[in-house]
Structure 1
Amino acid sequence: MDHEDKALGRRLREVRAWRQLSLKETADLAGISFGYLGRIERGEQPVTSRATLEALANALRIDPGELTGTPYAPSDPVGSDAHAALREVETALSSLDLGVDPGVQARPWAALAAEVDHLNNTLRANADYAALGAVVPGLLTELHAAYVQQPNERQNVLVGLLHTFYSAAVLTKNLGVRGWPVVAARLAEDCAQELDRPEWLGFGIWLRGNVAGAQGRTHQYGMSVRGIDALTPHLDCSNALQAAGMLHLNAALAAAAQSDADTTRDHLREATELASRLPERHDNFGYLYFGPDNVGIWRVSLGTELGQGAKVAEIARHVRPDALPLPAKARRAVFYADLGRALASEKRTREQGIRSLIKAESIAPQKIRNNIFVRETVADLLRQARRDAGGRDLRGLAWRMGVSPTG
């Protein structure tokens, strides 16, 4: 086996030495025990929650990505294509300005609208990052051109830009690139300000909090609550209601990442109530899939984050991931990945956890293989269960993720 499964612990030890902090000093700053930190550094204990990862990063005054080692070197040709496309995405994000014609002839709005829909409703929903990377730069360029060349379509173009910046933020965030997800979210917020409509202002706040939360959960929480307050007078509009619901879920995640279970449950309850108020026929606002079924998936994720272990399986029994509008593969994969992580945390449900993780990877491989918490879980499972019944399947999953060889 290589040392990929111990990489986070090794980086943690290196940064701690660089900061000239002892094991005890770092543990105290992070709010964890001396022994627990020692096991993490030796690769004997996985880091499977945002709360722990971010507490360690805060203690060492670094970005969490400095510990996770993202972006990961891709272990398959498709993953390699996705990473290769990042350079053009970053160039587009850094060089395009709203109101400045980039010098290309934009297609008619109907053709651009169809591509925006395909980008978000198919490629991003399928977590096809290689295809996203191939489409985003050119589409952003054309949309900026259309904003200048087609003044009668500016409102539509701004919405198209919001959706495309969303895809750019998802792509760069999930491939582990630091900095650029926040740039994409900020540019989306600029478009939302230009539109000046409550639902899109809420969407912009949600996106920024979603991609930048790890850098400041307190700020993510406060920003989400302010966004909810601004949307409260507009909840008779189903789009504004969906934006408010997603902001409640953002706030719940921020609270969970700070181990605040009561606040997490409060916002989850609010999101559930808003989802129940959606009319039967409504737009999928922002391609966010907000509704009872997606709130259920978030409930599983939040239970996993709060360390509820195998109890999450009971929550999952009432969730219908396949009821989300097709394709929504990314959301379904999140459900099985977080369920798998929760089940894998206890010996009696470990095999079920492995099967759930493998199912998640089969649904959206590019997304799951780049997930730090799945990688940590797989590495720990591999260490604990090399010769048990799940060994072969687990080794296959680890190999595809680049965590370890099959031997």
Structure 2
Amino acid sequence: MPHQTDMPDGTQTNGQRLKRLRMRHRWDQRKLAEATGYSLSAVRKFEQGQRSLDRADVILAFSKALDCHPTEITGQPYTPPDSDHDGQAAIASVGAVRRALLRHGRPSRPTEQEAAEADLNALRERVAAANGHRQGASLAKLGGLLPALLRDLQVAVDVFTGDQRREVYDLLASGYECAMQYLYKLGRSSDATLATERVLWSAAQTEDPLRVLSAHWYDAGELLTIGEHDEAGAIIDDALSGLAAMSADSPEKVSLTGAFHLKASLNYARATDSKAAERHLKKAEEQAELLGRDRNDYELQFGPTNCAIWSVSLPVEMGQGQAAVRRAEQVTQSLPKQYAPERRSHHYIDVGRAYYYNGQHDEALEAFVKAERLAPQATRMHAGVRETTHTMLNSHRRTALFEFGMRLGVV
């Protein structure tokens, strides 16, 4: 049998990568346990793959103790197996999208033909198509559109002036958001961070206060991902204060306020403050009730449905299996079939993790497969799905579970 460090990284568990990082520091398991506050028994079970190391707050605790990025534990980005043709298609545009991001802020130097063909109506339609692929979790199609779209938007910034130029910046910010989501779903965290910086800069050029604040929703998410809860909280608090200071209660303002309360609830959940997390969820639900329906302002889906989905996500983030399963059984029944596949797939991923925490492994696999049907590549690339599947395979290699693990590339 190959030594664990000789195994392809995608087939290793997070615990095996944790052990490798610990040994790099020349720490024993006891020292790691003392540094993180977890028991020696828990550290052993994580490293041996007997306990799923999939919760963000736990991964962050270990990454801070070992002074590494969380992706060094989760193993992202993953490379799809050669047999996964759709997965290979999804990652095919990563390099071209990265190059487009690196060209940001530089003179576009358009050819005469590019300048002459700059068409605002066409750009609106193309950005709408990109967002459709983003919400539909069609990563290969989204990646295929982005390089040329970002180039043409960068050219349009140099071609148009006045109000039209400000609108192009709005479209460019949306294009960068699509790039950020594309890269994030594929586990390219550093590239996704670069895209987020481009979103912030482009949104600022629109001179639209709400558009600027919507960009900071993603900025807070970047800090939350690496466990900088205070900094993320400061961005969220500033945004909520700015929204409260606006006089008119437009639907866009209400929607954005609710979205920031959801982000605050996630920040507190990962900081293991369950009371504060629930408090902000309630505030988000109040905003959703004011709206009375689901909206998609600034491509931030918010409304009663998204609040219901987040009500499952929060206990999952805190490892509260029973509470998450109780909520999931109610939410899943009422989930609109026309709701964005990207959001529905993420809901089923959370449901699967909830069932796993609750000891219901068959139900967990069933939920993961539902997520995979809705968003194949995003599900197979999801760190939590891969780690949880790994751990279930360690305890029982049922045929259906093994086949799912093969599609993920973890066996």
Normalised by the length of structure 1, the TM-score is 0.92
2:60 aligned with 1:54 = yes
Aligned to 2:410: 403
Q: Which residue among 31, 36, 43 is the counterpart of 2:37?
A: 31
> How far, CA to CA, are the matches of 1:317 and 1:45 in structure 2?
25
Secondary structure of the structure 2 residue equivalent to 1:127: coil
Match of 1:184 among 176, 195, 201: 195
Which residue of 86, 91, 94 corresponds with 2:102? 94
Change (3 A) 1:367 1:329: same
Q: Is the 8 A contact 1:322 1:332 kept in 2?
A: no
In 2, distance between residues paired with 1:324 and 1:223? 32
How far apart are the structure 2 equivalents of 1:196 and 1:150?
16
The alpha carbon displacement at 1:67 in A equals 1.1
Bigger drift between 37-46 and 145-154 goes to 145-154
Q: CA deviation at 1:185?
A: 1.0
Asked if structure 1 preserves the Cα contact closer than 8 Å seen for 2:295 and 2:301, the reply is no
Change (3 A) 1:306 1:102: farther
From 276, 282, 297, give the equivalent of 2:289: 276
Structure 1 residue 366 corresponds to structure 2 residue 377 = yes
Partner residue in 2 for 1:156: 167
- List gaps (5 residues or longer) in structure 1: none
Q: Deviations over 1:173-192 (max 9, x none)?
A: 11111311111111111122
- Counterpart of 1:109 in structure 2 is 120
Residue by residue, what CA displacement relative to the aligned partner does 1:22-51 show, whole Å, maximum 9, x if unpaired?
222222222211111111112222112111
CA pair 279-150 structure 1, distance change in 2 beyond 3 A: farther
Separation (CA, whole Å) in 2 of partners of 1:150 and 1:325: 40
- Indicate the residue corresponding to 1:136 in structure 2: 146
Query: Are 2:259 and 1:246 equivalent residues in the alignment?
Result: yes
Could you list the per-position Cα deviations for residues 243-276 of structure 1 after superposition, in whole angstroms to 9, with x for gaps in the alignment? 2211111111111111110111111111111111
Structure 2, unpaired ranges of 5+: none
The aligned amino acid for 2:92 is A
Residue 199 of structure 1: how far off its partner (Å):
1.4
Mapping for residues 119-134 of structure 1, pairs under 5 Å: 119-120=130-131, 122-134=132-144
Aligned pair partner of 2:307 in 265, 270, 295: 295
Question: Which amino acid in 2 is paired with 1:253?
Answer: L
Tell me the TM-score normalised to structure 2 length. Answer: 0.91
The aligned residue for residue 262 of structure 1 is: 275
Are 1:392 and 2:396 matched, yes or no? Answer: no
8 Å contact kept, 2:166–2:207: no
* Structure 1 stretch displaced more, 296-305 or 154-163: 154-163
| Partner Cα distance (2:295, 2:280) in 1 | 23
Shift of 1:327: 5.4
Number of equivalences: 397
Paired residues for 1:322-361 under 5 Å: 323=335, 326=338, 328-347=340-359, 349-361=360-372
* Cα deviation, residue 213, structure 1: 2.1
Partner Cα distance (1:11, 1:255) in 2: 27
Instruction: State the distance in 1 between where 2:11 and 2:361 align.
Output: 18
What letter is aligned with 1:142?
A: D
SS at match of 1:271: helix
The letter for the 2-side match of 1:278 is L
Query: 1:346, 1:96 → 2: CA distance?
Result: 46
In 2 relative to 1, CA 31–218 (structure 1 residues): closer, same or farther, beyond 3 Å?
Answer: farther
State the alpha-carbon separation in 1 of the partners of residues 347 and 203 from structure 2.
30
For 1:60-71, what aligned pairs fall within 5 Å after superposition? 60-71=66-77
Alpha-carbon separation, structure 2, partners of 1:140 and 1:321? 39
Matched, 1:232 2:239: no
State the partner residue of 1:201.
212
> Equivalents in 2 of 1:370, 1:114: separation in Å?
29
Bigger CA drift: 271-280 or 130-139? 271-280
